[in-house]
């Protein structure tokens, strides 16, 4: 009971406290939040939509979470971040119970605390994205399989397939394929591949099929080939075969992510990995399962063309359980590092996370343009990336303003990454002459805007950076060196 109380307090401190101060950021969080907001307004809880059009980027599970939170708490930061924090808490408790089941409560408790105090987990506990939900359902799939396998209780496989079904509703086919691959590799390593027959029984597949059919079947009937081509084609096949960001498609990408993401436990992660590799022939069955789980996730996503920081999150739980075994005889070190993390992260929330989130959100720009906008206004945005958070916070239709030449480069095309550019576009020569134009312009694109936008423009608002970099410049150089993030222009009449 003491362990559970301690873990609950840790969750409140690390996952929930301060989350309502974090603005919705671009480019990813705002897309999820805006999609759920538009679904809520439309009354359609089945078909994701954004900018007034249907949107097939991700399955429905995370949108349902956002919709429930918006209904309960209202549309805002706390509601948007509530379920990621809740699932982070669930992931921490799952780690505790699974570690306790495999070994003992001391190892389970240490593993749960290590997980909660890693940098990547702390960050994702606040992020408005699908990954925490996937982590919990992915992990529950493998945990229930392994407990059922070890205790010779095949009834638990039903729960494993059900969890996998929810994972598929969260992230797509990867929620079934990757846990299945891990299980097959594990059974092959232990020389027990015939056990697959007990796993792949009709009733298990029926519960899996029933769960995924809740959304995939009606979406296929309603939207047909458009849904299948966009969801399976662009957002699954293309993601695996064509890198969205070529700079991240390097062999050492997830090695670096692991070192950073596991802070402050990174060195122990390396030490544990080397130690386990040396003693591969003597690993017990549980260690083999945890090793296969962690390594398969990392290697699989390393082989995929598109790489994101969050993809290898499901490898963290087996890794922290293996690391926790190290601290059984080194409890004072564990307590000191954990206590330091519980002090540092709340400070980091206010010193770093909140100002950095503000710099990566258009919340302040939205508040500024709402002072000038009316029914005769046309609002445009010009910069490197289109800020969906500007639409989320302002409630206005915002056009992405581009030159004709650049529009040809970024306009949506089938089976390319530009197909994700579903926001409304406008080129400079299409700016309406009979409307009041408000333009939100990133300061790096100010010259581009003024060189191409016809007419005379006046600055009616300036948004300053609030990041650590800007704060440092303020300290050394004073307010005259304050960095600007964006400017609000209005066409002079």
Query: pLDDT tens across 134-169, in order?
Result: 999 999 999 999 999 999 999 999 999 999 999 999
Rounded Cα–Cα distance for residues 487 and 126 (Å): 28
132, 91 contact by CB (below 8 A): yes
| SS3 label, residue 265 | coil
Q: To which H or E segment does residue 28 belong?
A: none
Q: At 176, is the pLDDT very low, low, confident or very high (cuts 50, 70, 90)?
A: very high
Is it the case that residue 242 has pLDDT exceeding 60?
A: no
Determine if the peptide bond prior to 264 is cis (ω within 30°): yes
What whole-number percentage of the chain has pLDDT above 70?
Answer: 89
Terminal CA-to-CA distance of the chain, rounded, Å? 69
pLDDT number for residue 274: 66
| SS3 label, residue 125 | coil
Lowest pLDDT segment from 356-370, 378-392, 399-413: 399-413
Domain ranges in the chain?
2-357, 362-491
pLDDT number for residue 417: 58
Is it the case that residue 238 has pLDDT exceeding 90?
A: no
* Average pLDDT score over residue span 106-133: 97
CB contact set of 100 (below 8 Å; sequence gap of 6+): 107, 108, 109
Nearest to 195 by CA among 229, 232, 262, 146: 146
Residue indicated by tokens 């729960």: 159
Nearest to 199 by CA among 138, 145, 151, 147: 145
Lowest pLDDT segment from 36-45, 338-347, 450-459, 480-489: 480-489
DSSP secondary structure of 71-108: HHH-SSHHHHHHHHHHHHHHHHHHHHHHHHHHT-HHHH
pLDDT number for residue 473: 45
445, 387 contact by CB (below 8 A): no
Q: At 481, is the pLDDT very low, low, confident or very high (cuts 50, 70, 90)?
A: very low
CB contact set of 243 (below 8 Å; sequence gap of 6+): 249, 305, 306, 307
Rounded Cα–Cα distance for residues 26 and 33 (Å): 10
pLDDT number for residue 416: 64
Number of other residues whose CB lies within 10 A of the CB of residue 435 = 13
Q: Which pair of structure tokens corresponds to residue 188?
A: 């092959």
Strands 377-382 and 398-402 come out as parallel
Query: pLDDT tens across 274-329, in order?
Result: 665 666 667 889 999 999 999 999 999 888 877 778 888 999 999 999 989 888 88
Is it the case that residue 267 has pLDDT exceeding 80?
A: no
* Edge-to-edge strand list for the sheet holding 457-464: 425-427, 398-402, 377-382, 436-442, 484-491, 457-464
CB contact set of 392 (below 8 Å; sequence gap of 6+): 24, 30, 33, 34, 37, 366
pLDDT number for residue 46: 96
Distance of CA 294 to the CA centre of its chain: 19
pLDDT number for residue 236: 59
What whole-number percentage of the chain has pLDDT above 90?
Answer: 70
Q: Who wins on pLDDT, 397 or 416?
A: 397
Q: H helices of 229-265, where?
A: 239-241, 253-261
Mean pLDDT of the chain: 89
Rounded Cα–Cα distance for residues 195 and 392 (Å): 50
Rounded Cα–Cα distance for residues 366 and 304 (Å): 37
Is it the case that residue 128 has pLDDT exceeding 80?
A: yes
| SS3 label, residue 461 | strand
459 pairs with which residues across the strands? 489
Rounded Cα–Cα distance for residues 306 and 391 (Å): 27
């Amino acid at each position: 009971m003491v362990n559970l109380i301690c873990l609950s307090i840790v969750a409140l401190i690390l996952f929930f406290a301060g989350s309502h101060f974090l603005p919705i950021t671009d480019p990813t969080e705002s897309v999820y939040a805006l999609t759920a907001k538009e679904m809520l307004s439309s009354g359609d809880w089945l078909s994701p939509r954004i900018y007034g059009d249907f949107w097939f980027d991700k399955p429905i599970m995370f949108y349902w979470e956002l919709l429930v939170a918006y209904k309960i708490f209202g549309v805002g930061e706390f509601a948007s971040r509530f379920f990621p924090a809740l699932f982070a808490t669930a992931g921490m408790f799952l780690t505790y119970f699974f570690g306790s089941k495999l070994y003992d409560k001391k190892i389970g408790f240490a593993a749960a605390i290590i997980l909660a105090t890693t940098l990547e987990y702390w960050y994702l506990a606040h992020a408005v994205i699908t990954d925490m939900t996937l982590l919990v359902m992915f992990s529950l799939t493998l945990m229930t399989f392994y407990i059922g396998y070890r205790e010779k209780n095949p009834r638990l496989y039903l729960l494993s397939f059900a969890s996998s079904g929810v994972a598929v509703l969260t992230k797509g086919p990867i929620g079934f394929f990757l846990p299945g691959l891990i299980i097959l590799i594990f059974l092959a390593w232990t020389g027990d591949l015939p056990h697959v027959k007990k796993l792949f029984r009709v009733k298990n597949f029926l519960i899996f099929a029933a769960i995924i059919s809740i959304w995939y079947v009606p979406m296929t009937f309603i939207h047909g080939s458009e849904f299948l081509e966009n969801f399976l084609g662009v957002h699954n096949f293309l993601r695996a075969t064509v890198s969205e960001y070529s700079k991240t498609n390097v062999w050492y990408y997830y090695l670096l992510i692991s070192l950073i993401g596991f802070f402050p436990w990174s060195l122990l992660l390396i030490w544990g990995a080397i130690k386990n590799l040396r003693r591969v022939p003597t690993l017990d069955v549980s260690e083999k399962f945890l090793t296969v789980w962690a390594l398969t996730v990392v290697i699989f996503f390393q082989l995929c063309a598109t790489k994101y920081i969050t993809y290898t999150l499901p490898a963290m739980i087996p890794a922290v359980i293996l690391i926790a075994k190290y601290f059984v005889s080194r409890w004072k070190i564990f307590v000191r590092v954990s206590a330091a993390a519980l002090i540092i992260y709340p400070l980091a929330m206010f010193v770093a996370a909140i100002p950095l989130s503000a710099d990566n959100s258009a919340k302040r720009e939205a508040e500024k343009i709402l002072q000038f906008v009316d029914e005769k206004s046309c609002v445009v945005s010009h910069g490197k990336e289109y800020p969906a958070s500007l639409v989320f916070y302002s409630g206005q239709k915002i056009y992405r303003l581009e030159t004709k030449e650049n529009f040809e480069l970024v306009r949506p095309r089938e089976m390319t990454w530009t197909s994700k550019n579903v926001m409304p576009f406008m080129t400079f020569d299409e700016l309406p002459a009979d409307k009041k134009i408000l333009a939100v312009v990133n300061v790096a694109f100010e010259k581009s805007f003024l060189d191409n936008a016809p007419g005379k423009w006046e600055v009616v608002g300036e948004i300053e950076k609030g990041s650590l970099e800007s704060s440092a410049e303020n300290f050394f150089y004073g307010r005259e060196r304050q960095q600007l993030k964006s400017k609000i222009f209005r066409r002079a009449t």
